[in-house]
Amino acid sequence: MNTIFRKSVLGIAGLAVAGGLAAGPLNEAVDTTPASGDPIAVAVRADKPDTSRLVPHGVQGEQSRIDLDAEQTANVKAIIAATKKAGMDERPAVVSIATALQESKLENLGHLGDRNDHDSQGLFQQRPSSGWGTVEQITDPEYSTTAFLKGLKQVDGWQDMPLTQAAQTVQVSAYPDHYAQWEQQAADLVTQHWNS
């Protein structure tokens, strides 16, 4: 049997979004010799993200889940695209999506009047008065995700923190433990849409 070792790569769309960034090596043996004995070309497919990288600490507490409509799914894809564009991998996408699930249920919210927490808006409920950007900026999914990721990168050791602690350090919420309930759905969404 002739074998070659291949590396998994991002899907063509993901590769374009990531500006040429490829996933790490998978080193999987692939048989390239058909019954006739002639070598054949092997199509390289994009593999799904590794669950142990998506949820390295396991989920904490009871998990919540909501059904997503087309707009919410588009926002998931926008968060993933912004994460790739920032040169980051799947784990920060999970943290970002779980945060947006808690803050807005993945809806790009404008000002809600009396139901608003001060001037919080957008997927991450960021506040213009706290320096997150203008209303137009924080209601743009790419901008708001990039701003959240910039805040996450500034947290020393965020990669080793449970999701809810990493999210809370950026968001400074009155309900710091509520992010944890969305980790499994966020990981499932990253698995489903990372290579789409």
pTM exceeds 0.75, yes or no: no
Q: Per this entry, what is the length of the chain?
A: 196
Specify the 3-state DSSP secondary structure of 31: strand
Specify the 3-state DSSP secondary structure of 6: strand
Q: What is the pLDDT of residues 61-83, one digit of tens each?
A: 899 999 999 999 999 999 999 99
Using CA atoms, how far apart are residues 71 and 68, in angstroms rounded to an integer? 8
User: Is residue 4 pLDDT above 80, yes or no?
Assistant: no
Q: Which domains does the chain have, with CATH numbers?
A: 1-47 (no CATH), 51-193 (1.10.530)
pLDDT at 1: 44
Specify the 3-state DSSP secondary structure of 180: helix
pLDDT band at residue 86 under the 50/70/90 scheme: very high
Taking Cα atoms as reference points, which of 74, 116, 119 lies closest to residue 97? Answer: 74
pLDDT at 30: 36
CB contact at 8 A, 97 and 79: yes
* Residue with more model confidence, 143 or 23: 143
Using CA atoms, how far apart are residues 183 and 123, in angstroms rounded to an integer? 16
